Every structure is written in C-alpha cells, then in structure tokens.
Chain A
C-alpha cells in the first residue's frame, strides 16, 4: 500500500514546505494567546496562521460558510492528492475518504448552542449543519465530486491510525481504487479550557494532515502495518496498553537501528509517562512532533504520519514507526517503510 501523497496544515503554515522547515528546525513554535470568557488570563494555544493567499477552493459554494476545520481538510487533502485531483473529478479514480477527528466542528457547535441558549427561535439554520461531525468530509467529497464510500470516525488521537487501516482495507477489498485519510481539528477556547482540567502544560493546537493511499508495490513509501488498537479502560492500564502496542510494532521492524520513531510525547511528564516507559529501550532515532507543534489530537497523529512519510521520501531512513498513546481510548502504532526494505519475517 503506497503512500502516494501527503498534505498538511499546521501552526507552521499551509503545506508541506513550512511544516518540514519547522520540524527540521526543532524549535517549539511560540504560542499565541486566546481569550477565554470569564477568565482573567488568556489560554496559550498554537493557531494556524492565515494562508499566504486565499485558497481557490474557498470560492466553491459549499465552502463559503465552512468552519476552519473544513478549510484545513480541503487544503491538506488536495495537497495530498496532487495531480490526481483531476482523475478523481473525472471519475477515473474511485476515491474513498476516511476522516478521523476528536473534537470535530467545535467552533460552530459552541456558537450554535450558545444561540440556542440565548434564543432558540433565532438559532441559525446555516450554522447547525456545519456542526455535524461529517460536514468537513462532505465538503471535501462535494468539492471533488467523489461519490464513493466516505466515513468520519470519532475517537481519541489513535483513531487516525485506525482510519489508515480501514482505508487500506477498502483498497485491498477493491471497494475503492484509492483512499484519502485525513485527521483534523480546529481551535476553540472550549478545547483549551477542557485540556486545562488535566494539565496546564498542554499547548492545544489545530490543523490537518492527510495521507493519500494507493495500491502498489513499486518504489516509494509504503504503509506496512497498523497494530491492534490496545484499549485502556478499567481492565487495562494505559501503561500496559502502551507496552503492548510497542511490542506489537517492534515485532514488525526489520532494522531497529536504522528506523526512526515518531512518538507522541510532548514534554508533559504526567501525560508522557506511559509512552516514555513503553519506548525506554528504543535506541534508534526519535522525533516528537507534538513538542514543536503542540497537542492537535487527531491532527497530531496525522502529522506524525505525514512527517514520517515525508522524511523517508526525502531519503531520511528506510523505516518509520509511529506511536500514538491516545488521551482516553487506545494505544496504537503504524509502520511505514521504503519498498527496498524486505518484508518482516
């Protein structure tokens, strides 16, 4: 399963070049301030900067009133598809879409509920449809004229890797010719507010990441495997789930020394503990996207995958492990490899 394209929107900017540049610099982006009604101090957050020029897709009728998350989706998705956009549009590629999100369209949901509390009789009928979890995926499908299967999955950050596995399965079952997998979140003070209940050190972020999967065994970066989803609940602790995921992922890796680990740590020990412990014996190279770009939930796991694939495409390593120990659901991992690496035995 070849990764035929990647796309990204992040606090570093719109597109792969700015993302690559910020990650290679290795310096955490400076947070901005966001007012939280009723609080004396603002929240510290990482926002996506305005695009350098207005994206062409915003002129599409479906996107005129769309929320930021839909715009991030479109930008990342179209970048990942690249020149294949025209093949999707003319129907020569039957494209499936799988989206992963945690908070979804939180801007419009908050706004619509606020209107409901003030005066339900005047709550906006234009806003409500944009609150639905699958609104961004619908806009993307409409923009591309894509009538094939399209799922929006909701869950913690590990859901993006579940989405990858699902998409690869659809392709192998020949339900679709190719599949776009996206993770995205948008910023709202509600999200920042919520995270502060668990840690004041987390810097919440926003954006989107996209991987374009196509069948193929030629050159390029391939999705090799996605581990089981190791739940953490009352039966299984987070640390145990993380360790089980690590073991499952390591069993797939051919060359530990030459592989790079893209983990989900963010320099918040209380939140990183399970993942840090699970990977303590890892001796290969390691990179933490969250330390640079903040906690973007489903977006972060998408960024981890985009960064891993992009690094390999730029001839940095032959295997990449993506580790996601989510906030309240699962530990899950994925392995990407250049095709020159032999299948695991």
Chain B
C-alpha cells in the first residue's frame, strides 16, 4: 500500500550497493572513473541531428553499442527502443549485476528524466505533419515517446513489478529521484529501490538551449571568470539502494551511504536562479541537517556548475554563504566540463560519480576552467589528484527553480 506507508521512528540508513553509468566517456564504472579522474572533455560535433543553423555545434554524444543485449527483450524489441530507453537499460543492467540482485519481484523504481523518449516523439510529429494519413509505426513511436515506457521496459527486462515514480523536475530530476528513493528506504516504505536518471540528446532540447543562448560556442568552463555557457550531454546512471540492515544481511558490498537529501524551490524566475542562491543554500542546509553534519565536514562538492554566468555565480554565492568559514577548505568541481549537462540524468550521473569518489578517493578535476571566478572562496579543482573524502555533496538545480542536494558518506 502506498498510503499509509510505514513510518519508522528510528530511520534506516541508506546503502548504495550498485552503480551503472553510461556517458559520453562510454559505458561502465571503469571507463567513467578513468574519464572523470582525468577530467577529459568528451565532446564532438553533433551527429544525431542537423545543427548547421544553430549557434552551438558540439555536444557530448554517446556511441551506443550496435547490437546490445538486454535480458528478456528480443532483438526486435530492443531495436524499437527509444535512444533514452536503451541508455537506461544499459545503465540498469550494470547496476543490477553490480549489486548482485536476483529475483526481486516487487521493486519500487524512482527515476528522473526531462524528456523521456523525445526522439521517438519527434519522429512521431514529423510523420504526423509530413504524412498525416500514414499511420505505420506511429503507435510504436507514440508508445516509446511516453516517459513511463522506459521504466516499463526496465520492469520487462528484469522481471519485477512495483510502483514506478518518474520525477520530471527539469535538471534536478535525477537528484530528486535519488533523494526520493533514499527517503523510501529511510522511512521503511521499501527495502530496496532502483533509482537514477536518464536523458538522450534531442533536436528540440538542443534547439531550446541554443535559443536561450545558454550553450557555449567555445568550451564549457564551469566557474571560470570567462565562462560563456553550458554544453549538452546525454546519458544514464542507475543506483541500487538498500537499507543497511538488508544489505548487510545478504552480504552485499556497501559502496557508500546516502546520508542526506534536501530539496527546495527557487521562485525567482522560470530559467534564472535567484542571484544570491537562496534556494541552493536551503537545499544544502536541509541535506546537511538530515546527514547531521556541518559544512566543514564536507570534503568535496560536485557542483551543479553548468558553465552559465547566472547559474555558477548564484551557486558560488550559495556555497560561500552555506560553508561560511569552512569554505576555503572545501574542494569543488563540476563534471559538466567533461560530459556536458545531461539534464534529467545529470543528478544521477553525479551521484554515481560521488560514489566513485568515496570508493577510490580521488577528485574529478575541471581542467577547462583556467581562471576560476574571483568570487569562489572554495578550492576549485582543476588538476587530477587524490584526496581523503568522508562526505561529499552533489548539487542539482533546474528550470522552474527545482533545487536538490544529496550528501554521500564513505563506508568502510
């Protein structure tokens, strides 16, 4: 029963036991850890659609495997999948294997996305306009377009039932999803939850950010004093979450703990953050409150850091204020200079990155940022290196003022 749900007086701790990730670095933990650790940029000229009339021409595209295998789906079914669905399934497959999950009959799924199967929707629309009386394959395109279709394919592939919750809070969707999934475990409403985010590049969305002149026409340089915009990316990341009690009982390796989650709303503008970063401050405050820590205990912040003037200045202000005197000791970077802004997947990919950081004790640099803005009172990481990290925080902010912060804790 979804309501009333169990309500624990003593909250469960939330364990991450599996991670699956797919970005423009490639598929899987190893290749992504290597890419993030080096801070390599993974952009190229867009090949998926025509950008000849756009201001920006580059994005972080993924080369999907030509002949992927997904459990319980036929080649024909896989061929019909929207690009976003395939990304989701590939990431989920890695996480599922990583966690060693088997025979999970009822499994809540909480995912974030901004555009679901938009590429299928675009194909549907083009046929509806150019060939209005031709209906061949239109039902399939429509079905693949719906956001709920991608997690339903997940349920088909891995053979589970359970509530599917799709959070579409713009670029905070992935973090909201991971945070909400963690809440389900913390409160005792679920023992295991599959969570994450996914989004594929699409012409509509690329054109949208280009129309706003939010895309960099040079190089995406988060927090650089000369930054000129973001770069788009695509991808998916999935985390398998379990209660500590259950994970330990089944002998699972616990990769990290989700210690805190905060969410808030910025009412300033539909696309621009309040300049002082009040909502970002609030989401970080709430996450730290739940984690029971103060800012000085956070070793690293994976910033939202899109590379736009407005986001990065508001986030800088928020981090400076929130961290206070501890700010100079906190290391910060944004990975969007490497793999672009993956929108609904971003928060989940950055959550996966935080787990990597805690497991392997390195920091992801942002070498494209050559001259961090003078307002940054924190240490902006530009070169690869190791670091002892106990707590890391990930920020995600989206259109519409959706703000979310997650705090991860090292487990040994």
Report A200 CB to chain B, min CB distance, Å: 12
Within B21-76, the residues touching A (CB, 8 Å) are 51, 53-55, 72
A276 CB contacts on chain B under 8 angstroms = none
State whether B282 touches A120 (Cβ < 8 A).
no
Report B217 CB to chain A, min CB distance, Å: 13
The 8 A CB mask of B106-143 against A (1 = contact, 0 = none) is 00000001101000001011101100110100110011
A172 CB contacts on chain B under 8 angstroms = 4, 7
State whether A229 touches B163 (Cβ < 8 A).
yes
CB-based nearest A residue for B404 = A149
B55 CB contacts on chain A under 8 angstroms = 121
CB-based nearest B residue for A332 = B2
State whether B263 touches A112 (Cβ < 8 A).
no
Report B343 CB to chain A, min CB distance, Å: 10
Chain B residues bordering chain A, tally (CB within 8 A): 75
State whether A154 touches B163 (Cβ < 8 A).
no
A157 to B313 alpha-carbon distance, docked (Å): 40
B204 CB contacts on chain A under 8 angstroms = 109, 112-113, 116, 131
A123 to B204 alpha-carbon distance, docked (Å): 10
B128 CB contacts on chain A under 8 angstroms = 38, 190, 193
CB-based nearest B residue for A128 = B208
Chain A residues bordering chain B, tally (CB within 8 A): 79
Report B204 CB to chain A, min CB distance, Å: 5
Report B147 CB to chain A, min CB distance, Å: 4
Q: A109-B204, A153-B168, A190-B125 are in contact. Are A169 and B161 (CB under 8 A)?
A: no
Query: Is the CB of B207 closer than 8 A to any CB of chain A?
Result: yes
The 8 A CB mask of A223-248 against B (1 = contact, 0 = none) is 10111111101111000000000001
The 8 A CB mask of A113-154 against B (1 = contact, 0 = none) is 110110111011100111111110111011001111111111
Query: Is the CB of B235 closer than 8 A to any CB of chain A?
Result: no
Query: Is the CB of B79 closer than 8 A to any CB of chain A?
Result: no
CB-based nearest A residue for B183 = A173
Query: Is the CB of A220 closer than 8 A to any CB of chain B?
Result: no
Query: Is the CB of A300 closer than 8 A to any CB of chain B?
Result: no
Query: Is the CB of B225 closer than 8 A to any CB of chain A?
Result: no
Report A238 CB to chain B, min CB distance, Å: 12
Q: Which of B1, B133, B402 has a CB less than 8 Å from the CB of A228? A: B1
A152 to B266 alpha-carbon distance, docked (Å): 15
The 8 A CB mask of B244-280 against A (1 = contact, 0 = none) is 0000000000000000000111111011000000110
State whether A151 touches B399 (Cβ < 8 A).
no
Query: Is the CB of A309 closer than 8 A to any CB of chain B?
Result: no
State whether B401 touches A125 (Cβ < 8 A).
no
A169 CB contacts on chain B under 8 angstroms = 3, 5, 187, 189
Among A160-168, A204-212, A317-325, the one that faces the other chain is A160-168
CB-based nearest A residue for B11 = A173
State whether B1 touches A226 (Cβ < 8 A).
yes
Query: Is the CB of A215 closer than 8 A to any CB of chain B?
Result: no
From DSSP, what is the main secondary structure of chain A's interface residues?
Answer: mixed
A129 to B399 alpha-carbon distance, docked (Å): 7
State whether A37 touches B132 (Cβ < 8 A).
yes
State whether B169 touches A110 (Cβ < 8 A).
no
B271 CB contacts on chain A under 8 angstroms = 129
Q: Which of B53, B162, B265 has a CB less than 8 Å from the CB of A120? A: B53
The 8 A CB mask of A1-24 against B (1 = contact, 0 = none) is 100000000000000000000000
State whether B156 touches A148 (Cβ < 8 A).
no
The 8 A CB mask of B192-211 against A (1 = contact, 0 = none) is 00000000000110011111
State whether A225 touches B149 (Cβ < 8 A).
no
Report A299 CB to chain B, min CB distance, Å: 16
A121 to B51 alpha-carbon distance, docked (Å): 10
Q: Which of A120, A132, A173, A194 has a CB less than 8 Å from the CB of B187? A: A173
Within A172-202, the residues touching B (CB, 8 Å) are 172-173, 190, 193-194, 197-198
State whether B176 touches A229 (Cβ < 8 A).
no
A117 CB contacts on chain B under 8 angstroms = 126, 129
Among B135, B156, B164, B266, the one with the most A-chain Cβ atoms within 10 Å of its Cβ is: B164
Report B100 CB to chain A, min CB distance, Å: 22
State whether A146 touches B139 (Cβ < 8 A).
no
A72 to B211 alpha-carbon distance, docked (Å): 27
A141 to B265 alpha-carbon distance, docked (Å): 8
State whether A234 touches B156 (Cβ < 8 A).
yes
A225 CB contacts on chain B under 8 angstroms = 1, 3-4
CB-based nearest B residue for A101 = B168
State whether A123 touches B3 (Cβ < 8 A).
no
Query: Is the CB of B359 closer than 8 A to any CB of chain A?
Result: no
State whether B166 touches A137 (Cβ < 8 A).
no
Query: Is the CB of A62 closer than 8 A to any CB of chain B?
Result: yes
Query: Is the CB of B303 closer than 8 A to any CB of chain A?
Result: no
Query: Is the CB of B226 closer than 8 A to any CB of chain A?
Result: no
Query: Is the CB of B400 closer than 8 A to any CB of chain A?
Result: yes
A31 to B1 alpha-carbon distance, docked (Å): 38
Q: Which of B139, B164, B266 has a CB less than 8 Å from the CB of A329? A: B164
Within A67-119, the residues touching B (CB, 8 Å) are 97, 102, 104, 109-110, 112-114, 116-117, 119
Q: A36-B132, A169-B3 are in contact. Are A134 and B264 (CB under 8 A)?
A: no
A229 to B139 alpha-carbon distance, docked (Å): 25
B266 CB contacts on chain A under 8 angstroms = 147
State whether A131 touches B279 (Cβ < 8 A).
no
Report B336 CB to chain A, min CB distance, Å: 19
B411 CB contacts on chain A under 8 angstroms = none
A133 to B148 alpha-carbon distance, docked (Å): 14
Query: Is the CB of A330 closer than 8 A to any CB of chain B?
Result: yes
A134 CB contacts on chain B under 8 angstroms = 168-170, 398-400, 402
The 6 lowest CB-CB distance pairs between A and B, nearest first, are A38-B132, A138-B400, A133-B168, A165-B2, A128-B208, A229-B163
Given contacts A155-B164, A329-B148, 8 further A-B contacts (CB under 8 A): A37-B132, A128-B211, A132-B114, A150-B169, A151-B167, A190-B125, A225-B1, A233-B152
Q: What are 26 A-B contacts defined by CB distance under 8 Å?
A: A38-B128, A116-B204, A116-B208, A119-B53, A128-B207, A132-B168, A132-B170, A133-B169, A135-B399, A141-B267, A147-B265, A153-B168, A154-B148, A155-B147, A190-B125, A197-B139, A231-B155, A231-B162, A231-B163, A233-B152, A235-B155, A235-B156, A248-B1, A328-B143, A330-B163, A330-B164
B-binding residues in A (CB < 8 A) = 1, 36-39, 62, 97, 102, 104, 109-110, 112-114, 116-117, 119-121, 123-125, 128-135, 137-139, 141-142, 145-156, 159, 161-162, 164-166, 168-169, 172-173, 190, 193-194, 197-198, 223, 225-231, 233-236, 248, 328-330, 332
A-binding residues in B (CB < 8 A) = 1-5, 7, 51, 53-55, 72, 113-114, 116, 122, 124-126, 128-129, 132-133, 135, 138-139, 142-143, 146-149, 152, 155-156, 159, 161-170, 176, 180, 183, 187, 189, 203-204, 207-213, 263-268, 270-271, 278-279, 282, 398-402
